[in-house]
Amino acid sequence: MNKKAKYVFVTGGVSSSLGKGIISSSLAKLLQARGFSVTIQKLDPYINVDPGTLNPYEHGECYVTEDGAETDLDLGHYERFSNVPTSQANNVTTGRIYLNVITKERRGDYLGTTVQVIPHITDEIKRSIKVLGETGNYDFVITEIGGTVGDIESFPFIETVRQMKWELGNDCAVVHLTLVPYLKSAGELKTKPTQHSVKTLLEQGVQPDIIVCRTEHHLNDGIRKKIAQFCNVSKSSVIESIDASTIYEVPLLMKDEGLDVEVLKKTDTEIPEKIDLTNWTRFITNVKNPKKEVRIALVGKYVELKDAYKSINEAFIHGGAANEAKVDVKYIKAESVTGDDCEEKFKDVDGILVAPGFGNRGIEGKINAIKYARENKIPFLGICLGMQCAVIEYARNVLGFEGAHSTEMDPETKFPVIDIMEEQKNIDGLGGTMRLGAYECKITPGSHAFDAYKKELIKERHRHRYEFNNMFRKEFEGNGMKMTGINPGKDLVEIVEVKDHPWFVGVQFHPEYKSTVANPHPLFVSFVKESLKHKEERLKNK
Ligand code: GLN
């Protein structure tokens, strides 16, 4: 293809959590809708080499790419919006940059020079940005800088933006996202925090080209003028980003505000007249005006923190929209499910999802929930640990394997129905030691999984150490639990289904990572469909 990429940086000021990821994704969507190819990258200022070992309470879910990178959850937004797979190169942390530089230094690559933040660290940052542009695949590389300007941690990243802006001239634009708060007592929107955050950027040598203002109220002409004047941008480059009822509406709001046009102008790119957002608009219509509703329980360990299950939540939105339905997710803390309370806890749900996870906490609760779903013929989807728990539940309660377990929780169990993979056994430490990324899976025709995917060979993403133990395969298969998805190369069990049940599917992989607006995940679409069916029948029999 050999395209010459232009670079857009997205920085943030005033406060964290303003939604740089959503703004970056929305800009990507609009540029795509005008016919450009785009990739989005996130630079994270923390020292972890990747977020793989981070507790979800710290940074929310760990997102996994096709090539097996454990990344920030914003990459999930990038994929859901743009429908373009990301990779290791799309998420770079300070830790990774330093690790690369120190490795080079130890190898002697710097030939005796003093290794410094400028130029060595900044050069390494630059290299990891340009590597995407140099693939020749993209018209635009959008780079989101994590954190807030002024943070000590993000200095080298902002310095790199300064250098690249200088080097690239009109092939580069900087979008700065800020907050314009509304002061109730004064009855006014306030621009001062925006002015200050732009000053902070200026102190570091970066003049933003476009200012996107997060706000709860519309910006009037006066406010726009004021921000333009104080921050050295034209009025048309002051973009309002008002709170939206769904993140998926943000591209449409940004289009009305002309964010994409401003970026094209700043980067000297001819503005294509046509912009095609037909499918996107149809999706929003379905999300905003659902014809049906269904409640599905999500049984997990981190239910207080919705970001821990970000991709699952989004996959429910996509799968819901495909069924013209809204999915109301009822979070249930796994630890709290004792067994006798299942009737009470699940009486108002028509589907049960048991979430991925690590460690012992909440395991028995997950198993109790699965037993209830299986016995009461409630549509069930188990993801990763959720699938493993379904296997343990079946072993204990149907096959009569007392004390069956995963060796992750009980290394001494008599029935290790889930066990560590041979090749993982000798690995020390926890960083980067899992089966990660996309693997092939062959599906049995006639299974629920096959009905959903409508094809035999699929590729799904993994993030785990343990597997179904093939030693027990015959007992399961002979007694109603079918292995309907197998990794062809390694003969690993990837999908299990219970035969005598309307829809009971456990998957060793993470379907949620691959669900996008353009391609809602088939398993989520089917799961929601079956849950709607269950609801209809439940109401009929009432
Ligand atoms: N803890 C399990 C394993 O490592 C499952 C991991 C997960 O649910 N992502 O195999």
Catalytic residue among 77, 405, 501, 510: 510
Mean pLDDT of 395-409: 97
354: tokens are 């048991």
User: What pLDDT is recorded for position 431?
Assistant: 52
CA 302 to centroid of chain Cα atoms: 16
Protein residue with its CA nearest to atom 6 in ligand 1: 464
pLDDT at 484 over 80: yes
Q: Distance from the CA of 364 to the center of ligand 1, in angstroms?
A: 15
Q: Distance from the CA of 421 to the center of ligand 1, in angstroms?
A: 12
Q: Distance from the CA of 356 to the center of ligand 1, in angstroms?
A: 6
- Atom of ligand 1 at shortest distance to CA of 418? 10
pLDDT at 138 over 90: yes
- Atom of ligand 1 at shortest distance to CA of 510? 9
Q: Is 384 a catalytic residue?
A: yes
Q: Distance from the CA of 133 to the center of ligand 1, in angstroms?
A: 35
Q: Is 408 in the pocket of ligand 1 (CB under 6 A)?
A: yes
Per-residue confidence band for 53, with pLDDT thresholds at 50, 70 and 90: confident
Mean pLDDT of 26-39: 97
Q: Which pairing describes strands 70-71 and 492-498: parallel, antiparallel, or unpaired?
A: unpaired
pLDDT at 132 over 80: yes
Mutate to test the pocket of ligand 1, among 299, 388, 421, 493 (most ligand atoms within 8 A of CB): 388
Is the separation of the CB atoms in 248 and 284 below 8 Å? yes
Q: Is 389 in the pocket of ligand 1 (CB under 6 A)?
A: no
pLDDT at 429 over 70: no
The whole-angstrom separation of Cα 368 and Cα 386 is: 12
Q: Is 363 in the pocket of ligand 1 (CB under 6 A)?
A: no
Mutate to test the pocket of ligand 1, among 62, 465, 467, 494 (most ligand atoms within 8 A of CB): 465
Q: Is 466 in the pocket of ligand 1 (CB under 6 A)?
A: yes
Catalytic residue among 124, 460, 512, 530: 512
Q: Is 389 a catalytic residue?
A: no
Protein residue with its CA nearest to atom 1 in ligand 1: 358
pLDDT at 421 over 80: no
For the whole prediction, is pTM greater than 0.85? yes
Task: Calculate what percentage of the chain has a pLDDT beyond 70.
Answer: 97
Per-residue confidence band for 425, with pLDDT thresholds at 50, 70 and 90: low
Protein residue with its CA nearest to atom 3 in ligand 1: 464
pLDDT in tens, 228-275: 999 999 999 999 999 999 999 999 999 999 999 999 999 999 999 999
Q: How far separated are the first and last CA of the chain, in Å rounded? A: 60
User: What pLDDT is recorded for position 35?
Assistant: 97
Catalytic residue among 384, 393, 448, 501: 384
Q: Is 462 in the pocket of ligand 1 (CB under 6 A)?
A: no
The mean-pLDDT minimum among 171-175, 304-308, 381-385 falls in 304-308
- Atom of ligand 1 at shortest distance to CA of 467? 10
Per-residue confidence band for 428, with pLDDT thresholds at 50, 70 and 90: low
Q: State which amino acid sits at residue 110.
A: Y
The three state secondary structure string of 310-366 is: HHHHHHHHHHHHHCCEEEEEEEEEHHHCCCCCHHHHHCCCCCEEECCCCCCCCHHHH
Is the separation of the CB atoms in 387 and 355 below 8 Å? no
The whole-angstrom separation of Cα 208 and Cα 431 is: 37
User: What pLDDT is recorded for position 16?
Assistant: 83
The whole-angstrom separation of Cα 303 and Cα 407 is: 25
Q: State which amino acid sits at residue 21.
A: G
Mean pLDDT of 29-42: 97
